[in-house]
Chain A
Amino acid sequence: MLACDLPFLDERTLDTLISARAPDADATAFRSTHDGLPEPLCAIYEPRAAEKIAAHIAAGKNCPRKFLINAQTRLLEQPNPRALDNVNTLDEYASAMTTLDSPALEIRVQYYALLREQAGRSDETLSTRARTPRELYVELAARYPFTLPADMLRVAVNAEFGEWTQPLKAGDAVVFIPPVAGG
């Protein structure tokens, strides 16, 4: 099952879903990057789930997320955290169209100190539509529980201190540097 309002959906996400399909479960779905709950509208529902879905509806429950939470659902992490962002308003549509007009960039991000702890990783290569380090930090702060505001950090691009507003290029290596404490 696939919603029709997912402008950022990509092949990698669908490949991930299909290759991780668990035919013995009721369904295979992604964990939302926004609230951690199952995303019902980009999921594989197995034939064995049909009866359970019918019973769910017969009991007056129409929420597909609640079905997935209570069913045997194989939950996957999204390879692209924005892939399942949907569009519900005209403003969101306009914003999505602007974003889609510019190609995604592959950027390597390294994390140190508090940011590494909060991101749960020391580096990653990601595909982003952010065009500046500031936009990239905003995007990452939506994904990870970062507590440091951007103005407390320095940014480095390709191992040199950089500007928050400088244009990012494909292949850039970006580091957000937390303040030094305790000196």
Chain B
Amino acid sequence: MIPFRFSTGALDTAALQDEMRDPTCGGYAAFEGWVRDHNEGHAVTRLEYEAFAELAEKEGARIVQAAIEKFGVTRAACVHRIESLALGDVAVWVGSAPRIATRHSAPAASSSMK
């Protein structure tokens, strides 16, 4: 499992969910970031994502690791698409599997990514 990675093509959230499966974990939580139709007062029709991958992959891995330590989850990962996305597309997926179900770690990691 790579803690942070980029992807092109639609995210297979079912496959990502499977990556979180762990026999010691009783559940999992995920955050999906969607492309919305407005930003800072402007209408949005598409979002073009690009990344300085060399830096972002290192920083992303640090953020996921920090979330694992802060929230004590067993598994966590984040995937971000880099391409032209339409409204409603899943741009980012963050998942975590704790021993005890929590709903906090995935959204927190997502906020840090920005």
Contacts and interface: CB of A to CB of B under 8 A. Distances in A.
A181 B50 contact: no
Nearest to B51: A112
Nearest to B34: A183
A112 B59 contact: no
A160 B55 contact: yes
Interface stretch (B1-9, B13-21, B39-47, B64-72): B39-47
B35 A159 contact: no
23 contacts: A110-B52, A112-B50, A112-B51, A112-B52, A113-B50, A156-B52, A156-B55, A159-B54, A159-B58, A160-B58, A161-B55, A161-B59, A175-B55, A177-B52, A177-B55, A181-B39, A182-B36, A182-B39, A182-B44, A182-B47, A183-B91, A183-B92, A183-B114
B33 interface: yes
A175 B33 contact: no
Interface of B: 33, 35-36, 39-40, 44, 47, 50-52, 54-55, 58-59, 91-92, 114
Contacts of A181: 39-40
Nearest to A183: B114
Interface of A: 110, 112-113, 156, 159-161, 175, 177, 180-183
Contacts, number: 31
A182 B92 CA distance: 12
A118 to B, nearest CB: 15
Contacts of B55: 156, 159-161, 175, 177
Contacts of A183: 33, 91-92, 114
Q: Which of B33, B50, B54 has the most CB of A within 10 A?
A: B54
A175 to B, nearest CB: 6
Contact of A175 (B50, B52, B59): B52
A152 to B, nearest CB: 13
B35 A182 contact: yes
Contact of B114 (A112, A113, A160, A180): A180
A52 B58 CA distance: 62
Nearest to B59: A161
Nearest to A173: B54
Contacts of B51: 112
Nearest to A180: B114
Contacts of B40: 181
Contacts of B59: 161
A96 B100 CA distance: 65
Q: Lowest 3 CB-CB distances: which A-B pairs, in order? A: A159-B54, A182-B39, A159-B55
A27 B33 CA distance: 58
A112 B58 CA distance: 18
